[in-house]
Structure 1
Amino acid sequence: MNINNFVIANKDIDNIVKNSVGVIKALNGNSAIVLFIGKNELKRTEIENLEIIDIYKTGKGYKNKICNICHILKPINDFEINQTDAKGIKTTRPSCRECRKAIDGVKLSNAEKRRMDKIAPAKGSIFVCPICEKRSIVGVTANLVRDHNHETGEGREWICDSCNTGLGRFKDNPKFLEKVIEYLHKYEK
């Protein structure tokens, strides 16, 4: 084992669960200091509790994949199928089913879906997204989605699917969106 090797815990180590992925930061005799990525924690452990992994032999085309949230090496069937690529090969979501539960949060209730459906823009009508202000023809040049609060399950508005994806990427968190604004201002000319 060497510094900067990627490893997995081959057993539970305190709050680090088996198969958690880490990187060796220091070695001292029979022990290592490992940064476990999912918990963002440094742990000292015996080398015998670790196993080197080739991170490039995980994911699509392999039997195991590293979740991009918890950073635990899991069987590929612990990940939902997300899309099919141009070659017809199924692609899985980057995060495991367990982490997706936290990401997805509270779903819209059927009553809330019905309420939002009553205010849905008509197919073929012109729609202006309340976030990006993009104009589109409903059902032709854009897909619309029911946006909702993932903590409460309460519906907000209909928005374009691009903005919905964007909100999801930033976890519906104004703090992250403020950081995006700061970042853009930093590189303004």
Structure 2
Amino acid sequence: MDQRNALLGEQFGICPICLKPDPEHVDHDHETGKVRGVLCFSCNAALGQFRDRPDVMRRAAAYVEGNVWKPKLVAPGVYRLPS
């Protein structure tokens, strides 16, 4: 509990993603087990849904911002990935 409170103090008592006060969920890297910070329930759940994959999170952000990737067919059944 003391370590969690210390982390929360370093974050000024807010979730580092959405900036809402009083986050309660200790977040960690699922591969290494390393603790990253304290998140609110929604942000912690979102990272879990995205499987901690930054590439997927970047595409999600682009989608929300209206920059939707339109696949380009380059051969039957083969699509060009976004760069």
Superposition TM-score, scaled by structure 1 size: 0.30
Is residue 8–residue 14 contact of structure 2 (8 Å, CA) maintained in 1?
no
Is residue 24–residue 39 contact of structure 2 (8 Å, CA) maintained in 1?
yes
CA offset at residue 181 of structure 1? 1.6
CA offset at residue 161 of structure 1? 1.2
In the alignment of these two chains, the number of paired residues is 65
Distance across 1 between alignment mates of 2:49 and 2:37: 18
Q: Which residue pairs with 1:96 in the alignment? A: none
Q: Which residue pairs with 1:171 in the alignment? A: 51
Distance across 2 between alignment mates of 1:181 and 1:118: 30
2:3 corresponds to 1:116 = yes
Flag structure 2 segments of 5+ consecutive residues without an equivalent.
68-83
Distance across 1 between alignment mates of 2:15 and 2:49: 18
2:18 corresponds to 1:132 = yes
Secondary structure of the equivalent of 1:186? Answer: coil
Structure with more of its chain in helix, by fraction: 2
Distance across 2 between alignment mates of 1:150 and 1:115: 22
Distance across 1 between alignment mates of 2:16 and 2:28: 14
- Deviation above 2 Å: which 4+ runs of structure 1? 114-118
CA offset at residue 128 of structure 1? 1.5
* 1:85-140 alpha-carbon deviations (Å, 9 max, x no partner): xxxxxxxxxxxxxxxxxxxxxxxxxxxxx673351548xxx8321111113xx4xx
2:62 corresponds to 1:182 = yes
Distance across 2 between alignment mates of 1:176 and 1:184: 12
